[in-house]
Amino acid sequence: MAKINPKEAVESPEEPSRRSFLNKLWVFLGCVALVEFIAVAVAFLRPGKSKALPDGGNSVVIGGSVDEFTPDTVTAFVRGRFYLARLDDGGFLALSSKCTHLGCTVPWMETEHKFVCPCHSSAFDITGNVISAPAPRALDMYAVTIENNVVKVDTGKLQKRAEFNKEQVAYPKKA
């Protein structure tokens, strides 16, 4: 009879060491971080979804009575993301608040009587025309209608334009 060595008879698998456990943990956490990084990169590069329309889906914003706006002034409508400009001849333009260069919000500078982009100093006049580059074209606009002496702006469709044109202005009907 051959003798059996007890070590050879029962070979138990080695229990994982602390070092191998930590190595596996670091690999797992690295994979999780890589997946999160890829998800963030894809979300950043994917085109943005359209923003919710003001007033719970209604794309028409009521600006107010024609008499509330004095000629040669600009009124900001934050919820609609536009400016309502009343020109010196009494006409109305609804201008987008986004610069046509990189999309920064352009504030109306009352003292300078122009829109100035804080990102790259593009400047626009009261009609939205470019007066200082790098913006490539005039501010985008929304359609304006005047019904029963009330100014309404349709923010449902942004109208891109190269420059200001007299046909873009909405005038109140004369009584």
User: CB of 106 within 8 A of CB of 96?
Assistant: no
Position 8 scores a pLDDT of: 56
Position 38 scores a pLDDT of: 94
- Gap between the Cα atoms of 130 and 123, Å rounded: 6
- Gap between the Cα atoms of 155 and 141, Å rounded: 9
pLDDT digits (tens, 9 = 90+) for 46-101: 876 655 444 445 688 888 888 899 899 999 988 778 999 999 998 999 999 999 98
Q: What is the pTM of this model?
A: 0.65
Neighbouring CB atoms inside 10 A of 171's CB total 13
Position 12 scores a pLDDT of: 52
Domain spans, the chain: 17-49, 54-168
- Gap between the Cα atoms of 147 and 102, Å rounded: 35
pLDDT band at 136 (very low <50, low <70, confident <90, very high): very high
User: Residue 1: pLDDT above 70?
Assistant: no
Position 18 scores a pLDDT of: 86
Instruction: Give just the sign of the alpha carbon dihedral 105, 109, 115, 118.
Output: negative
Position 77 scores a pLDDT of: 87
Q: Give CATH superfamily name and number for 54-168.
A: Rieske [2Fe-2S] iron-sulphur domain (2.102.10.10)
Position 173 scores a pLDDT of: 80
In the predicted model, what is the mean pLDDT of residues 133-158? 90
Position 55 scores a pLDDT of: 45
User: Residue 9: pLDDT above 80?
Assistant: no
User: Residue 2: pLDDT above 70?
Assistant: no
- Gap between the Cα atoms of 82 and 54, Å rounded: 11
